Chain A
Amino acid sequence: MIEADAVAAALGALRHTDPPALDDKLFTGWLTAPSRIGAVFVAFTPLGVQFVRSSDAFDSDPGAFAQAYRQRFARPLRPADRAPAGLLPVLSGRRGPTPPLDLSGLSEFERNVLAATRTIPTGETRPYGWVASEATPTIRPTACASSSTSPSVVWPNHSRTRRPRSWPSIASTISFGCWSIETSPTAVIRTMRASCGSPCR
């Protein structure tokens, strides 16, 4: 049988001395960029833009932005030298290709919901029922997706109503477009009437 020392020596040669760079897998880049609504904080991974917030929302404090990012994504941030390709023109309102979005932390359904909202032309709105029918015909998962996903996609401006008591975890973070219920699929109307405490007209 081979000597123990020889085995130990051979094992020592297995020590890996040239590891791959893990930084891109671990760290999210961030920077401040000008936009039509003023300066914004942008966080992005190699896959695309992940998190956008108005600088005013954090009193221009990068630390507060980092805290909000970590709260949502639980990943470390590092300052970036350059913005992802296509981001700055889009933020300034110029026409051009949309920069990729990093939606890797979302479920397939959540991605479907956001894909549906991205087809809504700027300045127009659609009821949740429409979004639901584009993804799947259930309203609750739609609301869940809209409340938990990254707001890097601008959500249409629906009207607000009283908080539905049966959806405490959702209603605190989303608007609820009751005015649009009548145009929604029947199953969705039933679900919303059962769940919503406000009088739906």
Chain B
Amino acid sequence: MAVPQIVETPTGDQTEEHLRLGLIVDLDIGFAAVVRCYGRVVYSVALRLAAAPADAEDLAAEAFLRAFRALRGYDAARIRELRVRPWLLTILRNTARNAARDAARRPGPPPAFELPELAVAGPSPEQRIESELAQREWGRLLRLLPEAQRVAVVLRHVEDLPISEIAQILGCREGTAKSHVSRGLTRLRSLLADTELPGGQR
């Protein structure tokens, strides 16, 4: 059976159903559809969870590979019960935590020049540099948040995920997830008070 081409949509129930069906019919082809559908969100969140932006691509790839290895052991009934996006993001979060723990045990590499996070087409070079600096500064501020708050804030305000899904990814109740989002925002505002962002944002 052919697996339909799917792109990420705001109304995800139908998308998820197609993805689950694809995984059951043919794991490799179905998994390719999952990567096409959720590659963007996984990478975007990885960009905020990785120790450095340059590590985000490897982190996202590692999370997908772990997901694939897990899927190999799932039967059709288990795949039918799967909520693919929060499940993937949970794996991403755990992979990032493991990577951070491993990195803490090893001496860090020497400081390296990092490529800009975002290439913006259109604006002038000055505007691009300013935008990239602002992005980098926001990334730095987000990394100052406790891990659960950072994940909650990124999922809610960067990726616009519903609280129910964030709670599932964090493994907590919805009220607790809301609290993480709220406290994270408050902490960010406090950090911003001491920071001058490029372009005069404050």
Contact = CB atoms under 8 A, between A and B. Distances in A.
Interface of A: 1-2, 4, 7-8, 10-12, 14-20, 22-23, 25-27, 66, 70, 74-78
A11 B58 CA distance: 23
Contact of B119 (A11, A18, A77): A18
Contact of A20 (B43, B138, B188): B43
Contact of B43 (A2, A14, A22): A22
Contact of A26 (B65, B190, B192, B193): B65
A26 B61 contact: yes
Contacts of B139: 14
Interface stretch (B77-85, B104-112, B122-130, B152-160): B152-160
A26 B192 CA distance: 38
Contacts of A22: 35, 39, 43, 57, 60-61, 64
8 contacts: A4-B186, A8-B185, A14-B139, A15-B160, A20-B57, A26-B35, A74-B72, A77-B28
A15 B158 contact: yes
Nearest to B71: A76
A2 B47 CA distance: 24
Contact of B157 (A11, A19, A76, A77): A11
B48 interface: yes
A103 to B, nearest CB: 18
A65 B57 CA distance: 29
B47 to A, nearest CB: 6
Given A16-B43, A25-B61, A78-B28, 16 more contacts: A1-B193, A2-B189, A4-B185, A7-B188, A7-B192, A10-B138, A14-B135, A15-B159, A16-B44, A19-B44, A22-B64, A25-B58, A26-B61, A74-B69, A76-B68, A78-B32
Interface string B35-60: 10001100110011000000001101
Contact of B190 (A1, A16, A18, A75): A1
B202 interface: yes
A6 to B, nearest CB: 9
Contacts of B58: 25
Contacts of A16: 40, 43-44, 47, 117-118
Going nearest first, the 10 A-B pairs with the smallest beta carbon separation are A16-B44, A19-B43, A25-B61, A11-B157, A76-B28, A19-B40, A74-B69, A8-B157, A14-B158, A76-B31
Contacts of B72: 70, 74
A76 B190 contact: no
A8 B142 CA distance: 12
A98 B51 CA distance: 38
Contact of B57 (A10, A25, A70, A75): A25
A15 B41 CA distance: 8
Contacts of A20: 43, 57
Contacts of B14: none
Contacts of B60: 19, 22
A6 B201 CA distance: 10
Contacts of A66: 28
